[in-house]
Amino acid sequence: MGPNAGSFLPNQGLSGLLKEGTKHITGLDEAVARNIDACRQLSAIVRTSLGPNGMNKMIVNHLGKLFVTSDAATIVRELEVIHPAAKLIVMASEAQEREVGDGTGLVVAFAGELLDHAEKLLRMGLHTAEIVQGYERAGEEALAILETLAVHKVPNVKDVEAVTTAISPSIASKHYGLESVLAPLVARACIAVLPASLNMFSVENIRVAKVLGGSVSDSSVVSGAVFLRNVEGTIHKVSNARVAIYTCDFEASQSETKGTVLLKSAKEFTNYNKSEELMLESKIKAIAESGVTVIAAPKFGEVAMHFLEKYKIMVIRCQSKFDLRRVARTTGAIAMAKMNTPTTDEQGRADHVQVEEIGSTKCIVFRQEKEGSRIATILVRASTQNLLDDIDRSIDDAVNVFKGMTRDSRFVAGAGACEIELSRKLHEFAEARPGLDQYSIKKYAESLEVIPRVLAETSGFDATNIISSLVAAHAAGQSTAGLDVAEGVVTDSMKAQIFDLLITKHWALKLATDAVCNILRVDQIIMAKMAGGPKPRDMQAADAMDEAP
């Protein structure tokens, strides 16, 4: 028998059954109500950031890094939510980020609204099982209706103008007014690296280089890669470059085992040094004779630098393995682990490799003009680092919208039009249901109105009047009627060219509904006492010089 055998005392409930310090919450009023309240608070934080006029959140994380953003994915990630029920909503938003890359705010706001209405149904006397059943049925019907609401399709994803129109609303929802500058840049960059097989498009092939200073209108697209650093030597420009990449330090080779060399005179010492230098020079000479004009490696020795300058080879120091990987992907070079002479197949190609001064920042630019590059870089200019970071997140969302278009290029009406139309059709569906789940379906339909309501509130308009106007317009057959956030009136989203990707809405509705149903099924919360000792080390922490891929 174990050391704790026989310590269980009867008539003490869960406190006698579980370890000391374990918290347990049971019952409708306790567990379900607390879960709903926690999720409602998380939703309240995120929902005010939705839309073109959404408010920014200022977050300082545990490392002291400041974030000023309206991007829901960043807000949810940096808040470090610990409540178990709210964590389910966070997981749903993270799943949305992985699946589509956009629409995380919709998941959190809609889930919070669904739980808010679920609490009202519980107060009415409905059982959680009936609410869950109704929500699941409403979710299935909503996804079926959504398929019929597609109003726009991009027939050719290589058409810059059509792609610009499609991704503009995604950028406008974060940086209203900058979409006319950023959307064409993103469209050109995405189309430049579009592979023959559309399904093979990778978000990683669109890089963002952030240069402080200037204005956003000074931003541009480079067909190739940009690195915000200077070269090591005196050679700053190479045309028709042939590139070699080494993952080892570029210096005199050292033996794998320690050895002792006995030198009896100064002449022997001089000859020993010369032999090392001659060996290094012979290696660099062989590399130069193979046609290499640019070398990228993590570190360069002083003697190696001397000979590289002698043979007119440009030297680029890349301490980050991610940067070396980008150079390889841009030029088509194969990274080598030893200082061997690269073969023709192992060498990369670039039309121009040169140092350019942008503002006061020196940048190394790899340009591929003749042949299509596998990487395109959007060079972003802005006045503050926080604005640069936020524009980077907006560009990432827009690139993800383009990736979604390569899978399914159908779009629904934006500006709240799709949600109002879905709500209207779900109300009609609920009226025809015979059981108690019709109450849940009606509340599900009402929850969809949260998006146009938040758009109106953040724009400073009377949400009640706006919603009633939109509902009236849709009842009159205007299925694409949405909210004009500038004027506060009902407008035709088709004419205004405000579209949302259908696949984004599909996954947002599905993930939010699943998360809410999971939370409503919980009737007990049991939390063990936190273990003592140091916290586990972050397994994702890489080298100090590494950046995110």
pLDDT of residue 535: 59
Q: Are 393 and 378 in contact (CB under 8 A)?
A: no
Q: Are residues 359 and 482 in the same domain?
A: no
15 pLDDT more than 80: no
Amino acid 544: pLDDT = 42
What does the mean pLDDT of the chain come to? 81
Domain count within the chain:
2
Are 261 and 352 in a shared domain? yes
> Exposed, middle or buried: residue 548 (CB in 10 Å: 0-12, 13-18, 19+)?
exposed
Same domain, 260 and 343: yes
* Domain CATH for 456: 1.10.560.10
Does residue 295 sit in the same domain as residue 347?
Answer: yes
Residue 253 lies in a domain: yes
Residue 499 is predicted with a pLDDT of 86
Positive or negative CA dihedral for 130, 133, 135, 137? negative
pLDDT at 548 exceeding the cut of 50: no
Residue 515 has pLDDT above 50, yes or no: yes
- CB count in 10 Å sphere of residue 119: 17
Same domain, 241 and 367: yes
CB atoms within 10 A of CB 529: 11
CA distances from 134 to 108, 513, 523 (A): 20, 11, 18
Q: What is the DSSP letter of 528?
A: P
Q: According to the model, what pLDDT value does residue 372 have?
A: 67
Judge whether residue 14 has pLDDT over 60.
Answer: no
Helix/strand number for the chain, H first, E second: 18, 18
In a domain, 544, yes or no: no
Residues 230, 357 within the same domain: yes
Task: Identify whether residues 230 and 295 lie together within a single domain.
Answer: yes
Instruction: With cut-offs at 50, 70 and 90, classify the pLDDT of residue 513.
Output: very high
Mean pLDDT (whole number) for 340-363: 85
172 within domain boundaries: no
- Rounded Cα–Cα distance for residues 408 and 406 (Å): 6
What domain range includes position 144? 22-151+413-527
pLDDT tens digits along 264-292:
677 666 666 666 777 888 888 888 888 88
Q: How many CB atoms lie within 10 A of CB 547?
A: 10
Residue 543's pLDDT is: 43
Predicted local confidence at residue 169, as pLDDT: 86
Using the Cα atoms of residue 377, residue 383, residue 387 and residue 391 in order, give the sign of their dihedral: negative
What is the model's pLDDT at position 415? 84
Same domain, residue pair 232 and 353: yes
Band of the pLDDT at 541, cuts 50, 70, 90?
A: very low
Position 437 scores a pLDDT of 79
The residue among 236 and 526 whose pLDDT is bigger is 236
Are residues 231 and 352 located together in one domain of the fold?
Answer: yes
Are 288 and 307 contacting, i.e. CB atoms less than 8 angstroms apart? Answer: no
Q: Are 264 and 333 part of one and the same domain?
A: yes
In-domain check, residue 406: no
DSSP state of 247: S
Residues 243 and 352 in one domain: yes
293 has a pLDDT exceeding 60: yes
Q: Between the CA of residue 70 and those of 170, 176, 386, what are the distances in Å?
A: 13, 12, 12
Banded pLDDT at 525 (limits 50, 70, 90): low
**111, 92 in Cβ contact below 8 A?**
yes
Rounded to 10 degrees, what is the CA torsion of 103, 109, 111, 114?
A: -140
End-of-domain residue from the set 371, 388, 404: 371
pLDDT tens profile 476-497: 888 888 888 888 788 888 888 8
Residue 442's contacts (CB-CB under 8 Å, 6 or more residues apart) are 426, 427, 430
Reported as a single tens digit per residue, the pLDDT across 164-216 is: 888 888 888 888 888 888 889 999 888 888 887 877 888 888 888 888 888 88
- Spatial strand order in the sheet of 206-212: 206-212, 376-382, 220-222
Location of structure tokens 């790899």: 366
Instruction: Let me know if residue 353 belongs to a domain.
Output: yes
Among 371, 397, 429, the domain-final residue is: 371
Q: What is the mean pLDDT of residues 438-456?
A: 88
Residue 383 lies in a domain: no
Q: What are residue 505's DSSP bridge partners?
A: none
**Domain-located, residue 52:** yes
The closest of 293, 289, 252, 294 to 273, measured between CA atoms, is: 252
Residues 252 and 365 in one domain: yes
Per residue in 237-262, pLDDT (tens digit) is 888 888 888 888 887 665 555 666 67
CATH of the domain at 365: 3.50.7.10
Confirm whether 214 is domain-assigned.
Answer: no
pTM of the model: 0.79
Picking from 342, 371, 400, the residue at the C-terminal end of a domain is 371
Average pLDDT over residues 399-409: 87
pLDDT at res. 494: 84
Mind listing the pLDDT tens digit for each residue in 90-149? 888 888 888 888 888 889 999 989 988 888 888 888 888 888 888 888 889 889 998 888
